Amino acid sequence: MSAAPDLITRQIQRDIRNRWLLSLPALLIILLAATGPLLIVVVYSLLTPGDYGDVKWVFSTEAWVSVFFQRDMFDDTLTPASAHLSIFMRSVNLSVMTTVFTVLLGFPTAWFIATRPARSRDLWLFLITIPFWTNILIRTYAMLEVIRNEGLINTFLMRSGLIDKPLQMLFTDGAVLAGMVYTCLPMMVLPIYASLEKLDFRLVEAAYDLYATPFRVLTKVILPIVKPGVVAGSILVFIPSLGAYVVPILLGGGKTMMVGNLIGLQFGQGRNWPLGAALSITLMVVVMIALLAYVRYSGGKGAKAHG
Amino acid sequence: MGSKYAVEIWRVTKTYGSGDAAVVAVNDVTLNIGNNEFFTLLGPSGCGKTSLLRLIAGFEFPATGDLILDGENITGTPPYKRSINTVFQSYALFPHMTVAENIGFGLKMLNKPKSEIEPRVQEMLRLVQMEALANRPVAKLSGGQQQRVALARALAPSPKVLLLDEPLSALDYKLRKEMQVELKRLQAETGVTFIFVTHDQEEALTMSDRIAVMSGGKLLQVGEPRDIYNNPADRFVASFIGEANFLPATVAAADTTGAALTLASGATLKGPIADDLAPGQTVTLMIRPEHIRIAGGPPSPGALAGTVADLAYIGTDTYYKVRLADGASLSVRRQNRPEDEQDYSPGDAVALSLPASALRYLQE
């Protein structure tokens, strides 16, 4: 009997060692594929830009300075980088709007699917995932084809005599938002559907029975219960939206620059890789702060369910 | 209350599906349920009792017919505007709320002030003896506790009618017995009309003021437990509530003192008085197993001769399966008393006497 605790302790120790060994491959992949590249980005942000792109291995904080300040061409005085700030604000703004619209559109869609008979649900889910099969570039070009001046909508409206000259839809903020919502919508529908599918619809009846109007059934019973799905969907939409690159260029015509485009520019024509790297890290920090704030605000339950 | 009845159901029909696949769940049901009544809808699963309950609650709407609540027509009223609350079979407690929040939900939705909700929630907690668990999340409750919360939640807004959809079916036997007593107490204390759905005939008999027996969407019989047990309207009711023996017979003679009946075997029986009996008419006789008297030896005049085919001892009583001369068999239930020495074994010849007062004529 006296040996038993000792045996148990050894058993637990062996168990822990085995678990570490078993998770080693995963840890290695995370280290090589995520942490490694991130470190490279951090290192690059502290180097000097090369003449034709690339970097010179000379330490410099210049990139970080120019993330936040702009240096006067003549007297080297520093003023806050209002251009960068407004680009960041515009990106955050677009991402928030995209998230809001995908929730507004995605929730009813997910509700529709979740309330279908079990057999036809699979079909609807399948339809939702079809856009994923196509490259985002092609999907965006397709959208461009629909809304451009000689595109589908304008041709139809002109032919039917409703308008005389084409509506300018392409290269507007609305077009960028519509494009973002279109590409992100499945990312919102799927997690909300996953939550709604598990919802016990008798709870909805119970709430109706207890004098809750349809709107209050939604806000007091359904939404609190499916909140983890909405939080997960919002995170899945918000993060990629902040770094959006293709949609703002194609549908916004490059007139309105987003963070993604700004970073892309530094690695392309700008030939300032350190600045690009510094901006990337800044974006990451912004995303992290936004997420922390969001998860805290939404009660933290979502974070627990998905973290 | 303004009306004589709490709920009036007038010629209500509900069908699911359409065309050839249509299923009539509730078929032309007319029923009045009185104030402060403990009313039970009893029937096998699929008989339409739960559909009828859902119509009263307002989760579904009748195809034809009217529903009147306390004198007011509520046929098309949505559930959140009916002063009717439901205790669900699965309890359907809100998982994101505490016990107290669940109980207060209905009052909150009625926009009652906090000063009114809080004392009422306390009162309800006391009523179902759950004061200690007010702030517990409902997921951490046992089945019996969830049951109590579901009851308190449904009673808190003081509905005119409380609907209970087989609320005891998920509980184990002992707890179910306790809750039966508890429900009767709650109904008496609150004075709310209870409409209780069950497939358990014993539960229905013990708890109800009146019972409605349903089958195939139709109402077969409505009455007090005693009345339904003693005078079942038809063969289905007789065999669904309690146990019953059925014997085909022909009327040999009938007058104001009783009837003379001939069984298929040629044996004769005395039957009770009935209005519309004519000689030569065939009838079905019903008798409860506990009303048949069993004795050993050759039959005395008026008794039927038979052989014990099988027996089952259940403690308080013994069931005998007795085969008659013509091959028909009757189930006999005899109470086990210490003074009865005689026990019958399979193969024993016995005599059965069927008192005329215990025989019933049934419509087929």
Expressed as residue numbers, the domain containing B260 is 245-362
Contact B79 A203 (CB under 8 A): no
Same domain, residue pair B326 and B179: no
- Rounded to 10 deg, the angle between the A118-129 and A82-114 helix axes is 150
- One pLDDT digit (tens) per residue for chain A, 307 residues: 455 678 888 888 888 888 999 999 999 998 889 888 999 999 999 999 888 878 889 898 888 998 888 887 777 788 888 888 999 999 999 999 999 999 999 999 999 999 999 889 999 999 988 888 888 889 899 888 888 888 888 888 888 888 888 888 888 888 999 999 999 999 999 999 999 999 999 999 999 999 999 999 999 999 999 999 999 999 999 998 988 888 888 888 877 788 999 999 999 888 899 999 999 999 999 889 888 888 887 764 443 433 3
Blockwise average pLDDT, block size 10, chain B, 364 residues:
83 87 90 95 92 95 94 94 94 94 96 95 92 91 91 94 91 88 90 94 93 94 95 93 92 86 86 85 92 85 88 91 89 87 84 91 76
Cα gap A245→A251, rounded to integer Å: 11
What CATH number does the domain containing B315 carry? 2.40.50.140
Adjacency order of strands within the sheet including B304-313: B293-296, B349-353, B304-313, B317-324, B329-335
Which of B240, B271, B306 is the endpoint of a domain? B240
Same domain, residue pair B165 and B58: yes
**How many other CB atoms are found less than 10 A from the CB of residue B2?**
6
Cα gap A47→A18, rounded to integer Å: 42
Contact B86 A213 (CB under 8 A): no
Cα gap A92→B64, rounded to integer Å: 56
A75 token code pair: 């007297």
The confidence score (pLDDT) of residue B341 equals 62
**Residues of chain B neighbouring A202 (CB-CB closer than 8 A):** 88, 90, 92
Locate all alpha helices (DSSP H) within A45-172, ordered by sequence: 62-68, 82-114, 118-129, 136-147, 152-159
Architecture of domain A81-306: Orthogonal Bundle (1.10)
The confidence score (pLDDT) of residue B2 equals 59
The confidence score (pLDDT) of residue A196 equals 94
Contact A205 B85 (CB under 8 A): no
- DSSP 8-state symbol, A219: I
The confidence score (pLDDT) of residue A301 equals 47
Locate all alpha helices (DSSP H) within chain B, ordered by sequence: 49-57, 99-109, 114-127, 143-155, 173-190, 201-207, 225-230, 235-240
Among candidates B295, B286, B288, B299, which has minimal Cα distance to B331? Answer: B288
Cα gap B295→B353, rounded to integer Å: 8
The confidence score (pLDDT) of residue A307 equals 32
**Residues of chain B neighbouring A205 (CB-CB closer than 8 A):** 57, 59, 79, 86, 88, 92
Contact B109 A225 (CB under 8 A): no
- Best mutation target among A209, A213, A298, A301 (most B Cβ atoms within 10 Å) is A209
State whether residue A270 is helix, strand or coil: coil
Same domain, residue pair B63 and B196: yes
Same domain, residue pair B16 and B69: yes
Largest CA distance in chain A: 95
Owner of token pair 């709007």: A97
The total domain count for chain B is: 2
A33 token code pair: 């594929």
Among candidates B200, B159, B234, which has minimal Cα distance to B49? Answer: B200
Contact B59 A205 (CB under 8 A): yes
Same domain, residue pair B187 and B67: yes
State whether residue B39 is helix, strand or coil: strand
Among candidates B167, B143, B193, which has minimal Cα distance to B4? Answer: B193
Which of B240, B256, B277 is the endpoint of a domain? B240
* Pick from A202, A211, A221: CB nearest B80: A211
**Residues of chain B neighbouring A203 (CB-CB closer than 8 A):** 92, 94-95
Same domain, residue pair B269 and B140: no
A–B interface: beta-carbon pairs under 8 A: 63
ipTM: 0.83
Same domain, residue pair B346 and B212: no
| Straight-line distance from the first to the last Cα atom of chain B, in angstroms, rounded to the nearest whole number | 41
Quickly count helices (H) and strands (E) in chain B.
Answer: 8, 20
Same domain, residue pair B140 and B249: no
The confidence score (pLDDT) of residue A136 equals 86
Contact B63, B225 (CB under 8 A): no
What CATH number does the domain containing B131 carry? 3.40.50.300
pTM of the model: 0.80
Same domain, residue pair B137 and B226: yes
The confidence score (pLDDT) of residue A303 equals 38
Residue A30, CA distances (Å) to A27, A34, A239 in order: 5, 5, 19
Which of B173, B207, B240 is the endpoint of a domain? B240
The confidence score (pLDDT) of residue B34 equals 93
Contact A206 B94 (CB under 8 A): yes
Same domain, residue pair B256 and B348: yes
Same domain, residue pair B20 and B141: yes
User: Which residue spans within chain A are E strands per DSSP?
Assistant: 48-49, 55-56, 69-71, 78-80
Q: What does the domain layout of chain A look like in residue ranges?
A: 1-36, 81-306
Contact A225 B95 (CB under 8 A): yes
Same domain, residue pair B168 and B49: yes
